[in-house]
């Protein structure tokens, strides 16, 4: 879900942009909501600070008739929110290069000049945001293992655990369908996602696939009746998340 913040000094245009975005959200069923429409940069900044960690989309005019312009506001936003999506909506197309100078990483620069399909351009940029989110999520849900000059791709859900082979820098990847040997180290395997947990010096398990934990024998049961050891220190930590 995204919260949308709009900053535009012209009241008529502020209402128009807000109405366009609100209608698009309703028609397209976008997982978004217009939270704040204002002509005040201070209100934008204050809202961000009060809601840190929220996924924000910002629509900013450049000429705000204020002590700071839209690019300066975007620069301030970037100091607080490094991941927010910034879109400029303005009649001052000639100021677009300044967005690179200030390194605000704007997603788009939409003209509101007469004759421009403002609604269509806003629809396009909101759709783009959601498509990129979907692609990024898909990438996060997969991992690749290098074997010689080739790579094998696995869905995270299909991976049960990684374990050492007894040979330096060689691991087994145990999936739901088989076992694969490759060069690697357990420390790097933990980086594939929060569900991959170093439970023992010899093993990194996918906690989403744990079926049973035997506290007395310190063993984890995985699908296909596979067993992984768990250290005494990790046992207590794992109990808190299972």
**166-210, pLDDT tens digit by residue?**
999 999 999 999 999 999 999 999 988 889 999 999 999 999 999
Task: Kindly list the domain boundaries of the chain, sorted by start residue.
Answer: 2-139, 143-241
Q: 212-214 and 170-175 as β-strands: parallel, antiparallel, unpaired?
A: unpaired
Give pTM, 2 decimals: 0.60
For residue 7, the cross-strand partners are 38, 60
Q: What is the CATH number of domain 143-241?
A: 2.40.50.1020
Q: Mean pLDDT in the chain?
A: 90
Q: What is the CATH number of domain 2-139?
A: 3.40.50.2300
Q: What is the CA radius of gyration of the chain?
A: 25
pLDDT at residue 18 greater than cutoff 70: yes
Least reliable range by pLDDT among 87-91, 99-103, 190-194: 99-103
At residue 139, the pLDDT reads 60
Q: What phi, psi does 225 have (nearest 5°)?
A: 60, 30
CA 148-154-159 angle, to 5 degrees, is 110
The answer to whether domain 2-139 and domain 143-241 are alike in fold is: no
At residue 238, the pLDDT reads 86
CA 41-126-117 angle, to 5 degrees, is 90
pLDDT at residue 105 greater than cutoff 90: no
pLDDT at residue 72 greater than cutoff 80: yes
Least reliable range by pLDDT among 34-43, 135-144, 147-156, 171-180: 135-144
At residue 100, the pLDDT reads 60
């Amino acid at each position: 879900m995204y919260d949308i913040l709009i900053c535009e000094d012209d009241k008529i245009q502020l209402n128009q942009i807000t109405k366009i975005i609100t209608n698009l959200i309703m028609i397209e069923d976008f997982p978004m909501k217009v939270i704040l429409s204002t002509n005040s940069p201070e209100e934008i900044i204050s809202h961000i600070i009060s809601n840190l960690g929220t996924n924000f989309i910002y629509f900013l005019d450049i000429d705000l008739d204020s002590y700071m312009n839209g690019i300066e506001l975007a620069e301030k936003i970037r100091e607080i929110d490094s991941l927010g999506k910034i879109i400029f909506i303005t009649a001052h197309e000639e100021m677009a290069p300044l967005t690179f100078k200030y390194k605000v990483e704007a997603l788009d620069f939409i003209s509101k000049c007469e004759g421009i399909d403002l609604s269509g351009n806003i629809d396009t940029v909101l759709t783009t945001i959601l498509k990129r989110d979907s692609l990024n999520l898909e990438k996060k849900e997969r991992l690749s293992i290098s074997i010689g000059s080739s790579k094998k791709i696995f869905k995270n859900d299909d991976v049960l655990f990684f374990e050492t082979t007894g040979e330096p820098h060689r691991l087994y990847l145990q999936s739901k369908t088989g076992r694969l040997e490759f060069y690697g180290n357990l420390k790097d395997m933990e980086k594939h996602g929060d569900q991959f947990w170093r439970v023992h010096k010899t093993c990194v398990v996918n906690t989403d696939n744990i079926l049973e934990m035997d506290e007395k024998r310190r063993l984890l049961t995985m699908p296909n009746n596979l067993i992984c050891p768990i250290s005494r220190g990790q046992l207590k930590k794992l109990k808190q998340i299972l």
